[in-house]
Chain A
C-alpha cells in the first residue's frame, strides 16, 4: 500500500488528546487488590478473629517449667545408691567375717528387763494415699500436677530400689537413712500435690 501525504495523518495522530480515567478507577482497583489479597495470600485462619489467652496460662507454664527444673535437681543420683549398696555389703561382710574368725570365747552375763514391744517400721503405711493422689493427678492431667506426679514416680522408683537393698542386705543404718531421706522428699511432693489438688 502506498500512502501520499502520510505526514498529514502523522501530525494529526501526534496531536490526539489524552484522557484521564474517572476518579472511581483507583478505588475499584484497590478493592480488587484487597479481594485478591484476602482470597490468595491469607488463609482462613488469619482472617478469623484471634483471642488472647488468660494470664493464668503463662503462669502455669512458667510454674511447670520451674517444677521441671526442681525434678532434675531432686533426682537421686544412681551412683549414690550404688555406693550406699556397696557400703552396706561391706559392712555385712565385715560383721560376718568377724563372727566367723572368733577369738577367745567370752561369756556375757546379763539380766533381762521388760521393754515395750519394738515398733516395726512399715514403709508402706501411707502407700494407699500416695496412690490415690497419683491417680487423681493422672485424671486431672494438668502441667503442674503432671510434673509433681513425675517427681513422685522418680522418688517411688528410688524408694523401691532402696527397699530392695534392705531386703537383700539387712537394715543397714546408711540404707535406712537413705530411705528416710526419700520418704521425706516423697512427703514433700505429696504435700505439694495436695495443695495443687
Chain B
C-alpha cells in the first residue's frame, strides 16, 4: 500500500490502515516523545494522545510536507503539552551571545549524552531536542512553543551550556 493509499484508508477510519500507519512511525514518534518528556511513561501517554490526534486531524493534512513530518509536529506538540511543569523561557542576554562552548576533542559517549539530555530542565530539553535532534528551525520551535525566536535561541544556549557541564562531570 502506498503512503497516499494508506492515508486515504486512514481517513475512511479503516482500522487496519491506522495500525499500519502506527507501525510505520511509532518508533520515531515514541523516541521523540521520550526525548522531549525525559520520561518513558509520559512519552507513552503523549504517544497515545498524539496518535489519536493524528487520526482525528488527518483530514487537515494537505500533503505540503511528508506525512511523517506532519505527524511529528502533531505528536511533538502533544508531548510539549504533556510536560506538566511550565518551562522557563529566558531570553539570551546579549553578552552571552559571544560566549564560546567547546565540546572537546574526544568522542562523546552516547549513553552519557542521553542521560545528560534527560537531566536538562524541561524547557531547555524541549528546545535542545527540537532543534539539535529533531532538526526544527528556531522559528518553527518558537511557533510550537509560543515563544519568540530570541527566546528559543537563549533556551538552546543554556541547554547546551548545562549539557556540557553534565558531560564534563561524567568524564
Interface size bracket, B side:
35 or more
B15 CB within 8 Å of chain A: yes
Interface hub of B35, B52, B97, B100 (most chain A Cβ within 10 A): B52
A3 and B160: CB pair below 8 A? yes
For residue B157, which residues in chain A have a CB less than 8 angstroms away from its CB?
1
Residue numbers of B with Cβ under 8 A of A are: 13, 15, 18-19, 22, 26-31, 34-35, 40, 43-44, 47-48, 51-52, 55-56, 92, 96-110, 113-114, 132-133, 153, 157, 160
For residue A113, which residues in chain B have a CB less than 8 angstroms away from its CB?
none
For the complex, give the distance between the alpha carbons of A18 and B109 in Å. Answer: 16
New A-B contacts (17) at CB < 8 Å, excluding given A29-B51, A36-B52: A1-B98, A2-B100, A3-B160, A4-B100, A5-B103, A9-B108, A11-B108, A13-B132, A13-B133, A15-B110, A16-B113, A16-B133, A18-B28, A21-B47, A24-B44, A26-B19, A29-B22
B101 is contacted by which of A1, A24, A41 (Cβ under 8 Å)? Answer: A1
B47 and A25: CB pair below 8 A? yes
B27 and A19: CB pair below 8 A? yes
A8 CB within 8 Å of chain B: yes
A–B complex contacts, Cβ < 8 Å, 17 sampled? A1-B99, A2-B100, A3-B100, A3-B160, A6-B103, A8-B107, A9-B103, A12-B108, A13-B132, A17-B114, A18-B31, A20-B26, A21-B27, A21-B30, A29-B22, A29-B48, A29-B52
For residue B133, which residues in chain A have a CB less than 8 angstroms away from its CB?
13, 16
Q: Tell me the nearest residue of chain A to B101, going by C-beta.
A: A3
Say what secondary structure dominates the interface of chain B: helix
B102 and A4: CB pair below 8 A? yes
A37 CB within 8 Å of chain B: yes
A22 CB within 8 Å of chain B: yes
A25 and B27: CB pair below 8 A? no
B22 and A5: CB pair below 8 A? no
